[in-house]
Structure 1
């Protein structure tokens, strides 16, 4: 490596600071009335998200059964959920805790609604019954029977004076229930299929009711007469419908053309076609249809209305939440991605580098804002995107897909929502899926190279895009007028004998490398497409290849669990890195080419020092294969994604860790000096306490030995030289156990954690004959000053105390009594005096 690189501080520590994971896997979605929170079904749990940022606030853990329905109180205090276990659960949303659970129906609850007073919840079940429950008290107030099929929708009438509930079933029958009389007021039969939505006009008494079904019609009913007013054919199976607020200015020229005024009641609908449509309730005419995105295949499974923000939220069958503005011609203004499928490839966009371009197991290109987890969805490909690459400018992204094409995208996240991600060019020519793509990194991005399952490599001329590259703000207008530019191939040749998995262009744009399932990697001349060298040595397919940013070397990863470093001078293998337990899928150079970071099928991330080939860090957080790895140009953050549908963002905390260790070392040095100072002035209380807090058994031993030796020295002198601290204040008091009364007093007043640590020291000292004297004296002091209850309250008391032999018959009885206070054990230690290596007593009963 270069001399400059060797002086760099190598990375040694990464910390996971954020994750982008699944928040919706299909099922019910609800939004709080104040529009601050969104609630989504995620397998057996319910996720609570901040509506403005998409950030997860909490997770309501389910009962291991799939959640079938839930509803949120209008006052936002509680959520009521139901699962396939046939139980209803009430959740406190202030603490996100389960406060009540009870059996509800004999079959799963399919539909649920809460009245405007936040008192009652109605549940419609697959057992054909409708029940009403008092939420706070948890008992059933009404049980309505009469439906002949599964109850698919329930709705309370919004008027406070009208205590009515409307329910509908999969046979198309709508029933109106009076809560006062507990009877069915009306049976409305007009639909021929599953009724999915019920809503009321927002006038004073809800004069009209709207029902929508999968039979492709929307019915308008007069509420007072319970009579059908109008049938609106929509020619698609409706999954979600309702009414916009009266007088909503939707900003559509079509309204004025048909002569509607501000009092027009507007119905919204969405279903199998995957588009939002608006209807005039009075005339039944279609007012507006939002055009579907290019090559989008989704359908809508529900549509929610947010009256405060005047947005419509469409929930798609591929688990995305699309937000449309009701006041701006239904422009799609935002997306929340509920489920990512597998994360196949990703890369950071330059600039602020807070955006991450992601390819998942879908046909959409996704651009995540890693600061708030909002996501842009870009439609264009007809099949799954398999690979992507980002130009150094950051606003140019190339993608390759299973639809046999590659695309060039311009990204401007500061533009209006429909202009942020624009497909500006397509590359058509491969006969099979495009599995590898790489952009030239020159300032003008002159070309792109793609590799395919058809085993060919193509070079594409990007010069026709320079006008767009130079003026990215107008990319949308240019493409809208003429459509995406069709790129021309400069050359095509067969590069490998099997699928091409990876392509990488060198930093100087003069050579490029390919890696293939045929177990080889190859180096090619960019200008001519001539083969320069073949890298042979892997025993299985090569998954990834990348160039060093500073040296003439490349790194490859393979299914043989190895990472290899190759010389571009003679195409020989320079180093082999082994440590992964399964296929190594991705590799990147870090720290100016002095380190490698790799990911594998074993779910591990490994950091390697190239110089010594040592793995210095292993990160284990993913639950499955890690297909992709992305790094910021500053290398401050690294992102990983894989088959567990989760993206983890890792922060380089090497400097923070070094600073922390330095601070700890400085603190220890200060404490060591303080300990020396305490010993110098014979401040034994602080010295012993500090030695215990520093967990320094040797210093503790030295303190006790020095005190005991000094006491013995004084004891050998004339008794007249001893002071009260050694003998006690009166002749009836025993001599200090540890040599001086001040030390005994310290031992007798230790905190429980300090006492437990000291007992651990005693156990270890007692195994060494030379140290047993101090151990026995310390144990004597502890047993003298602490009660059995105090010692037995220590977590590891039995283990420590039973491993220490007592030094006398009297203290054996004391210890045995202590143990049998709380434990029934067969304790057979015999009383004995501890004898030192010279055969002399360390401490005898007569000295006590």
Structure 2
């Protein structure tokens, strides 16, 4: 590859949730039969989460947290709320009461009497099978989206097709790739839904209607798939609509306001039945009993109100009220008599409620630690709470593959203000909830990342501007099932021992915590070593049972050495340790960078004082070795080469300096611009360096030539962390930025060089085959080879020679065999070549031949069905008309020549006699009389 490296993004983790409500949706595991003869069974679906992040809606796999598909609204807008519905069967749900007559009654009431909805046929009540998402935006828009499973990529139909894909740089599909399910979210329709800001929206159980609540108390109901208005309710209050509820029979619509009002509308008659104000704060959830006589409401005032409802008498009265213990911030009724409550301090509780008895606590999530409760109360705020395994719209026939409708211990998904979505399940034989896993949907700022070996149960851990350090189970996903808690302030750095037996974390609380990777408990903590925040820590590279060290630096200018072997042998949990050795005032300013040599002989530190200090490690003591000066600004990162006695330092002055540990001098300086460099690391046996700067650019340098061989602007903010993973002949860069984005970039230079070499060899062979076919006059085979090689000049030469030998056979074979045998991509390529030939007057006759054969071979409907035909046919017609006009002009010029040569007499052309006259006069007069006599004789 001529000294250049090739890198590509293996995976990336971007923010996927920025607040608001969340929902679940059922997605197919296998593509549906287009004919509908083989409908999918309930086991062919999986439950996924749907979240909002700014102007984007994301669908996540619950088992891994992987983003399956996304959709960004086309306007410069912000999504405020969402709801989902999964329609798995086109028929009416089984198990409905036989007395239900709402469908027929609605058809009588909607179209004839409501001017807002025109008369519609019965097709308007049809809901297409599929999974749908509806979102409301700040600009009063409603977007209806459909999530579909894409068909897996098929294997090439023939070896020739596989060769063609390889030549174009495509990776042929493999059986493993075919098994990977890919989803796509597409817009079905969008419309303006309200005159005031949209506060909430709600799908009806059948999925046909979309109920939209606004901030002025208005409620509009739309036919979701024909986007026409069916209901327009005026609430008796003017406060924000906060909660919407529509019963399973779609007979009653219940509206809860932000100020505690509850109103009931007859969904069929489109009239207000009754209303009351049973709360003084926002109503979070509403449930209606099966017989419709009792209503339950829960609000942020902690009151669970039990109301008596009589539709005929239009009466809604409160029977009694129960005050729950939690400060309610979100709530959901799993069934009429099961209530789940999320609180402002992060507590999640489940209650059994009834019409006559007191509320019974079923399960409760334990309180967070006291320190977290004091500092992270805002982040613990539960924003949204939904029941796991029960997506809306899934009919009874499909309930069995999620959660049994009769169970009372269903799991929950809780989204908090810290942008984390926790999966909560009840513990067996206890009244406690436990957090099984957490989807960390927003990293905030990625401050440090460390990876584990492939055999480890966790892939990597991330420090992201929080007091907790999370470990992630899957590469490229945001699902975390382990969290390290104990720090009282933000964690800034972490380290993993070379044998992965211990993990260390440190941060603003000035404490170093040691974690055992078997039990994941804090076995010891280092105290009284620093008086300011700890900025960087690192284990020694060759640990043993007795020689196991940890080095730390901080903003207090100190360098500390900790005996990690004592932490491993600690008798009591969280045993306090003090540093074994240290250097006070190692720099004249805060120390930000720390690196340990591969042989444990040296430790390098760098900070704001622009100098790099090298310390020798003897036993368990530190001694000053050298102070390296040359940078014009502070040092941000340090790294040792694994192959040479070389130290690399990155600085805010935009340079990377390579220091020889033998001569203590700078041997090389690498710089492209003056952008501050924040990270640096050696890789590829010390022959290359990768850097990350303050503009989000990742750059690879060749040490020998001091040149940049690859660069990419992967991030939009500062790159705070850069980790290089080298194993099994692969190199992966793990980079994190201040925007909360984590990206893994892999080196595929060897793979690309091998592919280019194979393509070059294969091209040479095919070119030889093309030359042989031309010599043998096998023009049909030569035509296909030239088209497959993507050589327009060779293809044109084939057609020219073929026409010169037998034009009729060429035209007939093109129309009858060759053009029909081309696939869509080859046909598009041929037409593109034809367009280029048509622009040149020397080659237009070849283009005319191909165009004539193409239009003769395909019906005009087939031509119009081609997606690229407009961009190809228009230039062909334009240039064809130009060439035709040129030929007509040439023909007219030939007519003028005929006129000149045949119609005019010689006397009209010249005043002199023709040449024959001079010749005869010269013969009769003689040469001696001269030319004047000849002229007079002629006259």
Structure 2 length normalisation: TM-score?
Answer: 0.69
- Separation in structure 2 between the aligned mates of residue 69 and residue 618 of structure 1, nearest angstrom: 39
Superposed, which structure 2 residues align to 1:114-263 within 5 Å? 114-138=203-227, 139-158=229-248, 160=249, 163-200=251-288, 204-205=290-291, 208-223=294-309, 226-234=316-324, 236-244=326-334
- Separation in structure 2 between the aligned mates of residue 181 and residue 678 of structure 1, nearest angstrom: 79
Residue 450 (structure 1) aligned to one of 524, 547, 552: 552
Residue number in structure 1 paired with 2:763: 668
Give CA deviations for 1:522-562 in whole Å, capped at 9, x if unaligned.
11123322211112111111111011122211111111211
Superposed, which structure 2 residues align to 1:469-508 within 5 Å? 483-492=573-582, 493-508=584-599
CA 1:166/1:590 → structure 2, altered by over 3 Å: closer, same or farther? Answer: same
Contact 1:35 1:51 in 2 (8 A): no
Q: CA deviation at 1:799?
A: 11
Contact 1:293 1:379 in 2 (8 A): no
Q: Is 1:813 aligned to residue 903 of structure 2?
A: no
Residue number in structure 1 paired with 2:413: 313
Q: CA deviation at 1:283?
A: 2.2
Give CA deviations for 1:233-262 in whole Å, capped at 9, x if unaligned.
34553111234558xxxxxxxxxxxxxxxx
Residue 621 (structure 1) aligned to one of 691, 707, 714: 714
Contact 2:80 2:136 in 1 (8 A): yes
CA 1:434/1:703 → structure 2, altered by over 3 Å: closer, same or farther? Answer: same
Residue 742 (structure 2) aligned to one of 647, 651, 654: 647
Residue 77 (structure 1) aligned to one of 131, 134, 140: 131
Q: CA deviation at 1:576?
A: 1.6
- Separation in structure 2 between the aligned mates of residue 704 and residue 184 of structure 1, nearest angstrom: 78
SS in 2 for 1:660: helix
Q: CA deviation at 1:30?
A: 0.9
Listed as ranges, the gaps of 5+ residues in structure 2 are 27-44, 88-129, 149-183, 390-401, 404-409, 820-826, 856-868, 894-939
CA 1:800/1:512 → structure 2, altered by over 3 Å: closer, same or farther? Answer: farther
Residue 428 (structure 1) aligned to one of 498, 521, 527: 527
Residue 367 (structure 2) aligned to one of 268, 279, 292: 292
Give CA deviations for 1:662-707 in whole Å, capped at 9, x if unaligned.
21122022123223423544556655775676466898999999x8
SS in 2 for 1:32: strand
Q: CA deviation at 1:10?
A: 8.7
Q: Is 1:109 aligned to residue 109 of structure 2?
A: no
Contact 1:191 1:213 in 2 (8 A): yes
Q: Which segment drifts farther, 345-354 or 51-60?
A: 345-354
Residue 301 (structure 1) aligned to one of 376, 383, 394: 383
- Separation in structure 2 between the aligned mates of residue 548 and residue 330 of structure 1, nearest angstrom: 49
- Separation in structure 1 between the aligned mates of residue 139 and residue 607 of structure 2, nearest angstrom: 50
Contact 1:678 1:686 in 2 (8 A): yes
Contact 2:326 2:347 in 1 (8 A): no
Residue number in structure 1 paired with 2:916: none
Superposed, which structure 2 residues align to 1:548-563 within 5 Å? 548-563=641-656
Q: Which segment drifts farther, 209-218 or 675-684?
A: 675-684
Q: Is 1:518 aligned to residue 609 of structure 2?
A: yes
SS in 1 for 2:589: coil
Q: CA deviation at 1:20?
A: 0.9
- Separation in structure 2 between the aligned mates of residue 434 and residue 799 of structure 1, nearest angstrom: 71
Residue number in structure 1 paired with 2:343: 271
- Separation in structure 2 between the aligned mates of residue 494 and residue 618 of structure 1, nearest angstrom: 38
Structure 1 length normalisation: TM-score?
Answer: 0.76
Give CA deviations for 1:769-807 in whole Å, capped at 9, x if unaligned.
xxxxxx95x667767997799999578779999999x9x
- Separation in structure 1 between the aligned mates of residue 352 and residue 656 of structure 2, nearest angstrom: 64
CA 1:569/1:796 → structure 2, altered by over 3 Å: closer, same or farther? Answer: farther
CA 1:489/1:803 → structure 2, altered by over 3 Å: closer, same or farther? Answer: farther
Residue number in structure 2 paired with 1:731: none
CA 1:451/1:200 → structure 2, altered by over 3 Å: closer, same or farther? Answer: farther
Contact 1:684 1:746 in 2 (8 A): no
CA 1:407/1:205 → structure 2, altered by over 3 Å: closer, same or farther? Answer: farther
Give CA deviations for 1:635-688 in whole Å, capped at 9, x if unaligned.
443221112321111222223212211211220221232234235445566557
CA 1:619/1:352 → structure 2, altered by over 3 Å: closer, same or farther? Answer: farther
- Separation in structure 1 between the aligned mates of residue 329 and residue 891 of structure 2, nearest angstrom: 79
Q: Is 1:389 aligned to residue 489 of structure 2?
A: no
Contact 2:66 2:476 in 1 (8 A): no
CA 1:781/1:163 → structure 2, altered by over 3 Å: closer, same or farther? Answer: closer
Q: Which segment drifts farther, 540-549 or 678-687?
A: 678-687
CA 1:36/1:691 → structure 2, altered by over 3 Å: closer, same or farther? Answer: closer
- Separation in structure 2 between the aligned mates of residue 276 and residue 97 of structure 1, nearest angstrom: 35
Q: CA deviation at 1:462?
A: 1.7
Higher relative contact order (CA 8 A, sep 6+): 2
CA 1:276/1:810 → structure 2, altered by over 3 Å: closer, same or farther? Answer: closer
CA 1:799/1:653 → structure 2, altered by over 3 Å: closer, same or farther? Answer: farther
Residue number in structure 2 paired with 1:718: none
Residue 23 (structure 1) aligned to one of 2, 16, 24: 16
Contact 1:580 1:602 in 2 (8 A): no
SS in 2 for 1:494: coil
CA 1:558/1:51 → structure 2, altered by over 3 Å: closer, same or farther? Answer: same
Q: CA deviation at 1:36?
A: 0.7
Superposed, which structure 2 residues align to 1:413-812 within 5 Å? 421-429=520-528, 430-441=530-541, 442-444=543-545, 446-467=548-569, 483-492=573-582, 493-526=584-617, 527-579=620-672, 582-634=675-727, 635-681=730-776, 683=778, 690=785, 694=789, 753=829, 757=833, 793=872
- Separation in structure 1 between the aligned mates of residue 516 and residue 448 of structure 2, nearest angstrom: 18
SS in 1 for 2:196: coil
- Separation in structure 2 between the aligned mates of residue 362 and residue 652 of structure 1, nearest angstrom: 31
Q: CA deviation at 1:292?
A: 3.1
- Separation in structure 2 between the aligned mates of residue 121 and residue 759 of structure 1, nearest angstrom: 49
Contact 2:834 2:851 in 1 (8 A): no
- Separation in structure 2 between the aligned mates of residue 534 and residue 743 of structure 1, nearest angstrom: 86
Listed as ranges, the gaps of 5+ residues in structure 1 are 1-8, 247-264, 413-418, 469-477, 708-724, 726-735, 765-774, 817-848
Q: CA deviation at 1:391?
A: 1.7
SS in 2 for 1:105: coil
SS in 1 for 2:433: coil
- Separation in structure 2 between the aligned mates of residue 648 and residue 403 of structure 1, nearest angstrom: 29
Give CA deviations for 1:33-69 in whole Å, capped at 9, x if unaligned.
6761211111022112222332222223224322222
- Separation in structure 2 between the aligned mates of residue 172 and residue 68 of structure 1, nearest angstrom: 21
Contact 1:29 1:39 in 2 (8 A): yes
- Separation in structure 2 between the aligned mates of residue 40 and residue 163 of structure 1, nearest angstrom: 29
Contact 1:134 1:141 in 2 (8 A): no
CA 1:745/1:560 → structure 2, altered by over 3 Å: closer, same or farther? Answer: same
Please give the root-mean-square deviation of Cα atoms over the aligned residues, in Å.
3.9
CA 1:118/1:110 → structure 2, altered by over 3 Å: closer, same or farther? Answer: same
Q: CA deviation at 1:355?
A: 0.9
SS in 2 for 1:93: strand
- Separation in structure 2 between the aligned mates of residue 208 and residue 407 of structure 1, nearest angstrom: 55
- Separation in structure 2 between the aligned mates of residue 61 and residue 326 of structure 1, nearest angstrom: 36
Kindly tell me the number of residue pairs found equivalent between the two proteins: 724
- Separation in structure 2 between the aligned mates of residue 461 and residue 172 of structure 1, nearest angstrom: 60
Give CA deviations for 1:93-126 in whole Å, capped at 9, x if unaligned.
3363322333322212212333333333332210
SS in 2 for 1:302: strand
Residue 470 (structure 2) aligned to one of 366, 381, 399: 366
Residue number in structure 1 paired with 2:157: none
CA 1:217/1:395 → structure 2, altered by over 3 Å: closer, same or farther? Answer: farther
Residue number in structure 2 paired with 1:92: 146
